[in-house]
Amino acid sequence: MKKIYLFIAVMALLATAACGNKQTGKEETPATDSLKTDTLADETASTYFSAIDSYLISNIGSQYAKGDFCVPSHPIVAVDEKNPEDILVWGDFWVFNYNLAGDTLKTVSGGAHPGLMHIRQTEKGFEVTAFDQVEDGSGYLPSAKRIFGDNYHAFRVVSSDADKRERLRAETLSEYVKKNGIAATMFMDFGWPPVPLNK
């Protein structure tokens, strides 16, 4: 399962660059358990991650305190490809901004933005046309149930697994620094010990 998540991270990173950079036909497949979640994301990685990453970087990462690098991370919950003009991708979307200090990527800002991405295919590739985002505060639960619908349980399983999310984040960053030639060997959140990156 870890290898599948690593593949997801690799595919996402192939479409992701530093902050500011700016084929379908399946029926809806909810990810009702972790295996289905991983398999589904594996199958759709090369199709949707580029559009999702671009959206997260330009529309969400740009709203946080700026960093040298902006790196999204997003377990996918389910996908509905029945309508190529409105492909639906439910996920637990995260985005982080980092500054490089010595050999450490230090987290500047970021957070979770779970919800539903609406994506369509154009002549130039895929693009996000809308994002239904789960609300904060007292609106969180009702909006999450409304947005995820039948996929709500799968979303709860994915979003509550902090260990898997952090492993995916570390793997994503490891591939990101390799692809972009960044001299980082670890990353660190404020008040937490540094986490080594895979070489």
pTM of the model: 0.75
Using DSSP, state whether 190 is helix, strand or coil.
coil
Alpha helices in the chain (DSSP H): 2-14, 34-55, 140-148, 152-159, 162-180
Contact predicate 121/46, CB 8 Å = no
Which regions of 102-176 does DSSP assign to beta strands (E)? 104-112, 115-122, 125-133
Residue 50's pLDDT is 85
**What pLDDT digit, counting tens, does each position of 111-157 carry?**
999 999 999 988 888 999 999 999 999 999 999 999 999 999 999 99
**What pLDDT digit, counting tens, does each position of 159-169 carry?**
999 999 999 99
Q: The tokens of 167 are what?
A: 């492993």
Q: At what angle do helices 34-55 and 2-14 cross, to 10 degrees?
A: 10
In whole angstroms, give the CA distance from residue 107 to residue 92. Answer: 19
Q: Edge to edge, what strands does the sheet with 125-133 contain?
A: 29-30, 76-80, 87-91, 115-122, 125-133
pLDDT band at 47 (very low <50, low <70, confident <90, very high): low
Mean pLDDT of 95-114: 96
In whole angstroms, give the CA distance from residue 102 to residue 185. Answer: 9
Residue 154, amino acid: A
Mean pLDDT of 31-59: 60
Contact predicate 27/151, CB 8 Å = no
Cα Rg of the chain (Å, integer): 16
